[in-house]
Amino acid sequence: MVKNKEFKVGLFATIALVLLYYGFNFLKGIDFFTTTNKYYVVYDNIDQLAVSNPVLINGFAVGRVSRIAIMQNKQNKVLVELMIDSEIALSDSTKALLNSDFLGGKSILLSIGKGTRTLEAKDTLLAEVAKGMFDLLSETASPVADNLQTTLRKFNVLLDNVTKNSQQLDAIFVKLQATPDLLNRTLANANGSVNQLSVSFKSVAENLNGSLNELKPTLANLHTFSDSLKRMELNQTVNEAKATIAGLNETLDKIKNGSGTLGKMINEDTLYVNLNTLLRNLDSLAVHFDDNPKHFLAPLGKSKRKIERDRRKEEEKQTQK
């Protein structure tokens, strides 16, 4: 009876230990009902990665970290063993990205690319370490720091310019302080010069007034002389104009009475009649020359009898038509 109880207690303890072992491993992510393949990754620094940390593909757990060992013969690099579901096919371009979240949890993200071959169990994956928050902050802060440094340099240049301008303003103010004294001296000199000029101008005005008083009789005589001269010139011009008009009237009377060549041309039409007759004769001569050029251009010319004979022939031709 006692042995039966001891056997039951031992069996119960054994079952409890087995359940505890499998439960603990299950909590660690070990699935005893699926087959897995081992893969290896070599990192320079695993940043506190621990065994049983998950292996993820697109956020889905496909395995876990099964073992971590240091490789002293290879510059103290860290060998990480991964237990990955055997149904997951990995290529030779698969990268194992060591990642960490904001709470410090570590995981390995698998990035499966298009490779040339499929990896076998116990092959080595490509290692890659994700940038941490401090790295991102440092990368983001670097341009800001550069811009801030540039801004500070520009601000320093601005302060230097302000300092130089203030020095120039001080020099200008110093010169402005001396300006009122210089202006007062200038005004005093100008006042003395104006007084001297007024005295000289007064003297010149008095002399000019005396000279004008002396010139008044001369000017009066000159005015009288100019009036007399104008009257003399005007009388002579009027007399000459009268004589010219009288001569023109006399000439017009002669033309009107028919005296002289111009009067005969205006009053008689003989010249017009003669000119008109001459023009008609010239026109007839031109027509005859145009119709019968041989009468004028023959070697010895033609006699009057031959010309009349030719005219009769022309008249007979015209009548026959």
| Whether the predicted pLDDT of 275 surpasses 50 | yes
* Residue whose structure tokens are 């009876």: 1
Range of weakest confidence among 145-159, 169-183, 218-232? 218-232
Q: What is the predicted pLDDT for the residue at 69?
A: 92
Average pLDDT score over residue span 20-25: 66
Asked if residue 255 lies in contact with residue 263, where contact means CB atoms within 8 angstroms, the answer is: yes
Please tell me the number of Cα atoms within 13 Å of 221 on its side-chain side: 5
pLDDT grade for 39, boundaries at 50, 70 and 90? very high
What are the tokens at 216? 């008044």
Domain 34-130, second-level architecture: Beta Barrel (2.40)
Please tell me the number of Cα atoms within 13 Å of 82 on its side-chain side: 31
Mean of all residue pLDDT scores within the chain? 76
Average pLDDT score over residue span 272-277: 76
Please tell me the number of Cα atoms within 13 Å of 172 on its side-chain side: 6
The answer, as to whether pTM is greater than 0.75, is no
**CA–CA separation, 222 vs 220, rounded Å?**
5
Range of weakest confidence among 110-114, 179-183, 291-295? 291-295
Average pLDDT score over residue span 96-121: 85
* Residue whose structure tokens are 């203030």: 166
**Predicted confidence (pLDDT) per residue in 202-238, tens digit:** 777 777 777 777 777 777 767 776 676 666 666 777 7
| Whether the predicted pLDDT of 170 surpasses 90 | no
**CA–CA separation, 117 vs 71, rounded Å?**
27
**CA–CA separation, 68 vs 40, rounded Å?**
10
Helix H or strand E encompassing 36: strand 36-43
Q: What is the predicted pLDDT for the residue at 216?
A: 73
* Residue whose structure tokens are 């007024």: 198
Give the length of the chain: 321
The total of other beta-carbon atoms located within 10 Å of residue 43's CB is: 18
Average pLDDT score over residue span 87-100: 88
State percent of the chain over pLDDT 90.
Answer: 7
**CA–CA separation, 124 vs 96, rounded Å?**
10
Q: Which of 44, 68, 65 is nearest to 107 (CA)?
A: 65
What are the tokens at 82? 């991964």
Residue 314 CB contacts under 8 Å (≥ 6 apart), including other chains: none
pLDDT greater at residue 145 or residue 16 = 16
147 exposed, middle or buried (CB, 10 Å; 0-12, 13-18, 19+)?
Answer: exposed
Q: What is the predicted pLDDT for the residue at 263?
A: 65
| Whether the predicted pLDDT of 2 surpasses 70 | no
pLDDT greater at residue 296 or residue 122 = 122
Q: What is the predicted pLDDT for the residue at 136?
A: 47
pLDDT grade for 291, boundaries at 50, 70 and 90? low
State percent of the chain over pLDDT 70.
Answer: 73
| Whether the predicted pLDDT of 252 surpasses 70 | yes
**Predicted confidence (pLDDT) per residue in 52-90, tens digit:** 889 999 988 888 898 999 999 989 999 999 988 888 888
Q: What is the predicted pLDDT for the residue at 133?
A: 44
Q: What is the predicted pLDDT for the residue at 134?
A: 44
What are the tokens at 81? 């063993």
Q: What is the predicted pLDDT for the residue at 267?
A: 65
Asked if residue 69 lies in contact with residue 82, where contact means CB atoms within 8 angstroms, the answer is: no
Asked if residue 46 lies in contact with residue 17, where contact means CB atoms within 8 angstroms, the answer is: no
What is the residue type of 162? V
Q: What is the predicted pLDDT for the residue at 80?
A: 93
SS (H, E, C) 253-299: HHHHHCCHHHHHHHHCCHHHHHHHHHHHHHHHHHHHHHHCCHHHHCC
Q: What is the predicted pLDDT for the residue at 240?
A: 80
What are the tokens at 19? 């359940």
Q: Where are the domains of the chain?
A: 34-130
What are the tokens at 7? 């056997």
The total of other beta-carbon atoms located within 10 Å of residue 28's CB is: 12
Beta bridge partners of 107: 99
Task: Give the SS3 label for residue 166.
Answer: helix
**CA–CA separation, 259 vs 267, rounded Å?**
9
Task: Give the SS3 label for residue 30.
Answer: coil
| Whether the predicted pLDDT of 33 surpasses 80 | no
Average pLDDT score over residue span 250-266: 69
**Which range scores top for mean pLDDT: 37-46, 223-232, 297-306?**
37-46
